Structures are given as structure tokens and as C-alpha cells.
Amino acid sequence: MQNIPDLYLTKEAVRLSSDRELRRQRQRGALVRLGAGVYVSAVDWRSLDADEQFRTRIAASSLRARIRPQFSHDSAAAMWRLPSIGPWPRTVDQLIERAQPTSTRVGVIRHARGRDRDPREVDGVAVTSLARTLVDISCTSTFVRAVAMVDDGLRPTRPGDPRWGWVDSATDQAQLLQLLERLEPYAGSVRARRVLEFASALSGSPGESVARVQFHALGLPSPELQVEFSDEHGLIGFADFYWPDLDLIVEFDGKSKYGAARRYQLGLTPQQLLQQEKAREDRLRRVVTSFTRIDWAKTRDRRILAEHLRRYGLSPRSRALSGETARHLGIV
């Protein structure tokens, strides 16, 4: 778990008679203002990636509040280390009771959906439980973005995962659907049900989640996920996507496998990892009829993806969704 950097409060500086020094640091550009009366070291801020910066803004918002807020939606998702397809918002999300009016203040959106009765604390910040977070995201985000988050939340954790060892580190589809039913009537519940029923704990990365959504939008038959393959030497590994009718494996290549942001096999250099993957691919190619790889560039562009997969015999069994229909359903 990545710790939030030290935050400096004007009210504390006044109490300790160090507010003059705080002002000097601000004027020198040594501090970055995160909100009224909350600052962080400029050096620390520049060392953070986009996810960490958003989490730091959430922590700053928590410190500014007179009554401890309960963060939800994107804010809770970021604290739970769920992946975001696209940038995080500039605002933070908080839950309030249904009887209160939904409101937006500078940098804060308050959702009158009822506070979570089973909240958690992450990095000193009160957030909705993982299950409630996934349901709320499914109600409000696009289909593809929500599926990527729910897939990640459903996946069992293991060493290297950011939620490894957390008490509330995983959930299941039945639990999420039951929670949605308990919350109804709930805005966005129809959209959420589509997301929760489509999501899968077997999806291995955000890129694989996006690819699954694109296969669906293209009207392609659904692949089997994480299928185990072996040869005369023993276990080869698990394929990202497998179509048994075509005896076709499709693997997704992304940073979570080979780049600096990968979660697993951290003891290997990128070159060692690539060599290992090449040997694995050679073995897989010998036990199936067809094998191909897709990456973010192919996956993001549905036309390019469709053209690539058509070469391997993958064609729609149902009518592909038009761009307008896909947008209406929240697929894109």
C-alpha cells in the first residue's frame, strides 16, 4: 500500500506559530496547494503518479472537512487501487444520506444515495466498502470503465496485488447483485446490473477487460478465459482468451505483464520476462491451431481489432453494435 505523503495544514501551522514559515514555503514554490489550507511538498507531489496524486487530493479533502466524510465512487475506487480506464476526475466524491440534497462544491460532489453502513478505512480515509464501491461505479461510469474496475475487484488477490492482505480485498458477483437489490430503487441500477452480470473474476488485467467489452460490441462469440494448457513437459500456462471451436488463443500484451507497472514476477528483469514469455508462446503455438496477440493500440480501435481477428476466423455470431448503440448502452 502506497502511503499518502505528509500534508501540511494552515490551521496546524497557526496553532504551532509556524504559519509564517508555511507562507514562505508557499511563496518559494516549495509547497503545492491541494485545497483551502492544505499543502504538500512540491518534491513529493512531482514524485507521484496520477493515481497517487488523486489519492493525495482525497486525503487532503478529508482533512479539510469539519465532519469526517465518507468517500465513494471514483474516490473510493482510487483508494481501493481499482484501475481507471481514462483519467481520474478533478473532483472527489462523497456519500450523504438520501434525505439530503445532492450538491457540488468546489472540488467535491456529494451524492445523496445513502451512506454505506459498512465503510472501511484506507490510508486514513473513510471509504465505502469494496462491494459498495463497485456497485456505485457500475451505476455511474461507462460500461467499459466499470467492467474493468469490477473485474479487478472480483479477482482474488495474490502477492504483488495492491490489495494483497487487506481484510476487504475481494468480493463476488452474487454479493454485488444482492447489494444492488438491497439498494433499489437506485439510480443507474439497470446499467449496473449489465455491468455486474458481464464482469468476470477470470479477466487478468484492465486491458483484457477492455478487450472482452470490444469482443462483445463486435458481436463475437464469447471466449473462454484463463484456459490451462499443457504439453509433454507439463504445464505451459493459462491463455487470456481461447475459442475452442477455432482452437485459437488470443493473448493481450500490456504494461501489467511486461512494463515497470507489472504486478507479478517482479524479481525478473524485463528482458528475462520477455525471454520467458517467448518460450511460453512457442510451446502454446505447438499445442493449438492458431495463436495471436493484441495490444492496447489494436484493442482501442474496434475496426482494427475486428480486421485483425477476422484473419483467424473470428466473425460475429450476432450483429455488431453500431457506434450509436454502443454509446447508448455505455459500452464506449
Residue pLDDT, tens place only, 113-159: 999 999 999 999 999 999 999 999 999 999 999 999 999 999 988 87
pLDDT of residue 320: 67
CA distances from 129 to 117, 138, 168 (A): 9, 14, 7
Q: Taking the complete model, does pTM exceed 0.85, yes or no?
A: yes
pLDDT of residue 19: 86
Q: Alpha-carbon distance 3 to 57, whole Å? A: 13
Residue 109 bridge partners (DSSP)? 93, 104
Q: Alpha-carbon distance 287 to 280, whole Å? A: 11
Q: Alpha-carbon distance 129 to 6, whole Å? A: 25
Confidence of residue 171 (pLDDT cuts 50, 70, 90): confident
pLDDT of residue 328: 52
Q: What are the backbone angles phi and psi of residue 100, rounded to the nearest 5°?
A: -90, 150
Higher local confidence (pLDDT), 52 or 273: 52
Name the burial class of residue 28, with classes exposed (0-12), middle (13-18) and buried (19+) by CB atoms within 10 angstroms of its CB: exposed
Q: What does the mean pLDDT of the chain come to?
A: 90
| Three cell numbers written together for 27 | 511563496
Do residues 76 and 133 touch, judged by C-beta distance below 8 A? yes
Q: Does pLDDT of 68 surpass 70? A: yes
Q: Alpha-carbon distance 79 to 94, whole Å? A: 13
CA distances from 31 to 17, 25, 114, 123, 227 (A): 18, 6, 36, 21, 51
pLDDT of residue 307: 96
Residue pLDDT, tens place only, 17-48: 898 999 999 999 999 999 989 999 999 999 99
3 state DSSP class of 268: coil
3 state DSSP class of 72: coil
